[in-house]
Structure 1
């Protein structure tokens, strides 16, 4: 038996927080050593934070990262443990995303990333170059202060393997696992037995299955130990890095960290028998043939042994575990909740303010804040049984005491106590509001524990209407032109945004709390954004939107889940009500789907076809003919396609002002970086719609032929 203890980790890093990031890296190394590990792998770009974006174009980012590395090498942290650090490196005036290996106060290797992520939310090629010198290493010249500290003038940089006394080890970095010809294939064939992956992978609904399948398949085909590290939490942008560090061997999972948590540092370890890897490989004859033909990598040889030198009966191989997956409903409950806690504590504000309408979207947002309060409470009262658990508990307690302006002895008595301090909800009614929505908002707020207000804003709305009448001599009405109707609806929505920010700035002062601002929450779902079914600068304009990239379909399922599992039964009443903006007189019986001319399920399908499958109007129409032909006529399908693209084009300008959203869906229309398209369109789509009209005629003629032949 050749037993080695390996460690990987989840770290809650924050872009440009060099002090905090370094502290968390140090803690992870301490915990790894305490658990007996001789190798520790950390997340991608953990020193500076993954989301630095254009700060990667600044020399300071590279200098400060190297200074943090020096701090690690000054102490005994790297004694008797191989430490794998993620950080940016400038080599020959070229920027690289690198793994840096440290051992016994020396740098032993710098390994640049070979394949860069450059789609969806990722723009790595904007900031870094891929290392294109395959199977090659060269000298990296250390800065003066590092030479004095380590006694090294140069260290190897490049695409190579670390050869230890008892095994060979190498790395992949994030995107490299997802590429068709992943490095783990030929690294494994050249004898590497341990591969680590320091990653910066964000949460997206149902994404974890893909990640784990790739890792399990890589180790099952080649016989490998695979360590996966990831970042946790919000590092300053729209993404939540969801952790789930893991260790896999020969196709089975040995250890899995938490996917969603408020922890700052989580170290995952496993005791792995390398003899099992060797035996697994020996049984695959075809692998042996390919390995005998494989190209040899350059190796950096280190006089270091991973195997534990002393024998202990208590040290046994780690047994396989079942993979822990969350349902989509659980992901919605936990992912945005973790994001909101990180966002709140790092913004140094006093809590959240939400315009709570009693509808599905704002209720879902309130529920997520309630879930956040439940997570905080759980971490505050849960017993700590290790140094690692005690460290994380202290951090959560410290942060929530600071946010709530409480003393060092205060421990929350319930999630509702937390919610009452940091969460303010407000129903802003008008003459067009119903008692049903008012009561639903009040009941949900009571179940969550928020400080709830029920106010009427008719006086503010009427003052704006009077101002227009006084100025122009004209009085708009809902029964007048379409422009009058929309203007009267929009003024209510926009004034709710103004009232929200006014109250958010003064609520803590009015309650005799420490006068911190509250962050205003938006609650517009991804389908409404896609259609542009919201008022520009209305109460969807906020500081952050937790549900901005979640579909209405998923939100409805989440509300049902939350009503049964989070203790908010009033959500079932919310679900039974038809979605309505309540901006027109009640006798109009206004509903969202009638206003839009499309159902939310149809909107979701348009979003997926447009973004995920890359369909334009014509291809979208052709696909929907086969999907919807049994439900509606060809002409109706064509009308819906035209309606969607027309309103998508008309309202695309709204994306430029869309509230930053927690990103977790693959068809978000947000134009910040995920959906890079123009915001001024030719709204009649003449060329495309003409082809759809021609196709409608062709399909109708085919249908007529089928009908005639069936009668014969």
Structure 2
């Protein structure tokens, strides 16, 4: 009986940062060897970074990946350990997403990805081609820079496995775990005992459970050791890769990494007994299937992952032997995910863009409040990491805060750090209320942001005076007798001027405070009211540099604020939850106060339902109506449901063009309307959908009214 030390790693890689990616890979290998590991697995495409997108089509990306791999191979760090490393490889003029498995300055196998992710946020078929020769391999002739290090001219390329002296290793890549016929099944039946999965899987609210269940299921029936490595952090785009590296044995999770972290390198290790796999597989029915399984080509390596003899296992290994134990998997609540995921994403974006902080217009409403609290959560994470002595975080924080190189500043107080890097501003008009101004100021004081307060009526008046001078006409609000066109134009003037002011303040506030550089402007439009339905002004203050809540529903944001009230000790947040959401762009009168839900004609909860039906369930207007008849039929009549469906699709179609100018937003919801990546639909529609709406009306008129209101009306008639 021998013991096997295995590990998975999570790296915070950055697209095209070949030097930084190389350093993080090497650090992870050093940590792994320091813990006695004999197998190290890294995330998908870790050398160039997963998010290179069309850069994968450039020869430079492949060339530099080989150059980095040559440095890794030449290093003593990779001696005495098998390393599974990810990079693009061109084989016979075809670009593949590959794992390169190396040992002692040799390449053992290049394993190309066979099932590519090509929906949602992913377009892998745009860059790569899947390897379609299953259980087949070919010779791959290495570039000369690799030949000079390995002394190899060619290596196996294809769907094969690696056979060590004591066990057998097979590689999966990300999406292959999610497919119905995953490669680990056939590999396991052919005797593969260790499966590696190198992933580039992004965070989405409530998504981790599915991933964990698939990892556990992969070896529950089959038996085996499953090593899952995922990228962690923002590698240059809208996605946050949420790490959570895992090791599972026979369907039990025995080690789990963090899901959200500011660490650039995190290594997860476990010491397990390979005999547990063999005992788990000693089942007659499994043996019958395995006896007839098709054969994989085995690349042999004269190296043992285990110690070989039980009495050679160290005392530390005995203490760390956890193959027979399972641990409870750690799941964050959606509220915690909102507090942590976007905060980590914001930190990566801030430090990598080399700017001096963030700026946001605080409206006194819950959306900008939630955005500000997420920035404060980022400051809390930075302070916690600094208190632990994280050198990289401290170094980045000093630079962002404008400290000199020889400074001994350590950001251990989140409010103090917030005052240095976070800037907020209340941009009021005559239509703003005392309550929203007060809430904005009190929130800024609670989280420590550098806050300014202004009235912009003079700027609005100047624009109106110019228009009146040129046209001889002066628009009026609806409450003052103006038309709908006048009323909308007057609201949009205020909204767009706020965007102009936001960028001016973001560029100049550091200068005002005696510092260099500029700030990034944050947007605060949520996924439902503004993005999904288009309830926003194009090029208003929703137009910003990045938006941390652009993929989060209003419903989830409210839950997050309720959570943060206690978790972050921010009592002021209760007043935001109790306030009626309003844009405050129209005059307040005795009989009228502008309300978001009244303006939209539907509630936020209803918008979330429409979003999921439209995107996740792939429903058009008629299919949406038929589904909602069952979901809402107990409290709404068919005619009422029909009206809501038609209103939603009309407004969505009419405002779809606004999606083309959306601020890049953190992706957190499965129904994000981001047309640049996730939601590839047109932006010019027959917005009244004459055919579809006519069919809805016909069916609605013929259906019985099952709602409570319908029962009341029927009783009255009888």
Match of 2:660 in 1: 656
SS at match of 1:463: helix
Q: Hey, what's the Cα distance between the residues in 2 that align with 1:709 and 1:496? A: 54
Match of 1:624 in 2: 628
Superposed, 1:154-303 pairs within 5 Å as: 154-282=154-282, 284-303=283-302
Report whether the alignment pairs 1:63 with 2:60: no
The answer as to whether partners of 2:3 and 2:313 remain within 8 angstroms in 1 is no
Superposed, 1:543-562 pairs within 5 Å as: 543-562=545-564
Report whether the alignment pairs 1:678 with 2:678: no
Extract unaligned runs of 5+ from structure 1: 384-392
Report whether the alignment pairs 1:430 with 2:429: yes
The answer as to whether partners of 2:204 and 2:670 remain within 8 angstroms in 1 is yes
1:470-505 Cα distance to aligned partner (Å, 9 max, x none): 111101000310000000000000000000000000
The answer as to whether partners of 2:656 and 2:684 remain within 8 angstroms in 1 is yes
Match of 1:563 in 2: 565
Q: Hey, what's the Cα distance between the residues in 2 that align with 1:184 and 1:148? A: 34
Superposed, 1:514-663 pairs within 5 Å as: 515-528=516-529, 529-587=531-589, 588-663=592-667
1:87-110 Cα distance to aligned partner (Å, 9 max, x none): 100001000000001100111110
Q: After alignment, is 312-321 or 116-125 more displaced?
A: 312-321
Match of 2:504 in 1: 502
1:347-403 Cα distance to aligned partner (Å, 9 max, x none): 1110000001110100000000000000000000125xxxxxxxxx11111111111
Normalised TM-score (structure 1) = 0.97
SS at match of 1:321: coil
1:15-43 Cα distance to aligned partner (Å, 9 max, x none): 00000000000000000000100000000
Q: How far 1:320 moved relative to its partner?
A: 2.3
The answer as to whether partners of 1:447 and 1:567 remain within 8 angstroms in 2 is no
Query: Could you list the runs of 4 or more consecutive aligned residues of structure 1 that deviate by over 2 angstroms after TM superposition?
Result: 308-311, 700-712
Match of 1:134 in 2: 134
Report whether the alignment pairs 1:669 with 2:679: no
SS at match of 2:162: strand
1:220-273 Cα distance to aligned partner (Å, 9 max, x none): 111110000011111111000000001010111111000000000000000010
Q: Hey, what's the Cα distance between the residues in 1 that align with 2:705 and 2:570? A: 53
Q: After alignment, is 141-150 or 368-377 more displaced?
A: 141-150
Q: How far 1:308 moved relative to its partner?
A: 2.4
Q: Hey, what's the Cα distance between the residues in 2 that align with 1:205 and 1:44? A: 21
Match of 1:470 in 2: 469
Q: How far 1:151 moved relative to its partner?
A: 0.7
Match of 2:353 in 1: 347
The answer as to whether partners of 2:197 and 2:228 remain within 8 angstroms in 1 is yes
Q: How far 1:709 moved relative to its partner?
A: 13
Q: Hey, what's the Cα distance between the residues in 2 that align with 1:207 and 1:628? A: 26
Matched residues, number = 701
Q: How far 1:285 moved relative to its partner?
A: 2.1
Q: Hey, what's the Cα distance between the residues in 2 that align with 1:311 and 1:507? A: 61
Report whether the alignment pairs 1:402 with 2:399: yes
Q: How far 1:288 moved relative to its partner?
A: 1.2
Extract unaligned runs of 5+ from structure 2: none
1:552-582 Cα distance to aligned partner (Å, 9 max, x none): 0000111000001012111110000110000
Match of 1:386 in 2: none
SS at match of 1:471: helix
Q: Hey, what's the Cα distance between the residues in 2 that align with 1:701 and 1:343? A: 52
Match of 1:388 in 2: none
Q: After alignment, is 256-265 or 290-299 more displaced?
A: 290-299
The answer as to whether partners of 2:172 and 2:196 remain within 8 angstroms in 1 is yes
Match of 2:109 in 1: 109
Report whether the alignment pairs 1:325 with 2:324: no
Q: How far 1:413 moved relative to its partner?
A: 4.0
Q: Hey, what's the Cα distance between the residues in 2 that align with 1:397 and 1:227? A: 31
Match of 2:343 in 1: 337
Q: Hey, what's the Cα distance between the residues in 2 that align with 1:41 and 1:358? A: 47
The answer as to whether partners of 1:10 and 1:265 remain within 8 angstroms in 2 is yes
Measured on the aligned residues, the alpha-carbon RMSD in Å equals 1.6
Q: How far 1:128 moved relative to its partner?
A: 0.3
SS at match of 2:571: coil
Q: Hey, what's the Cα distance between the residues in 2 that align with 1:530 and 1:477? A: 29
SS at match of 1:77: helix
Match of 1:389 in 2: none
Q: Hey, what's the Cα distance between the residues in 2 that align with 1:570 and 1:221? A: 51
Q: After alignment, is 625-634 or 114-123 more displaced?
A: 625-634
Q: Hey, what's the Cα distance between the residues in 2 that align with 1:57 and 1:428? A: 45
Match of 1:693 in 2: 697
SS at match of 1:315: helix
Match of 1:387 in 2: none
Q: Hey, what's the Cα distance between the residues in 1 that align with 2:667 and 2:434? A: 34
Q: Hey, what's the Cα distance between the residues in 1 that align with 2:170 and 2:630? A: 48
SS at match of 2:627: helix
SS at match of 1:31: helix
User: Measured at CA, do residues 476 and 689 of structure 1 come closer, stay the same or move farther in structure 2, by a change above 3 Å?
Assistant: same
Q: Hey, what's the Cα distance between the residues in 2 that align with 1:507 and 1:269? A: 46
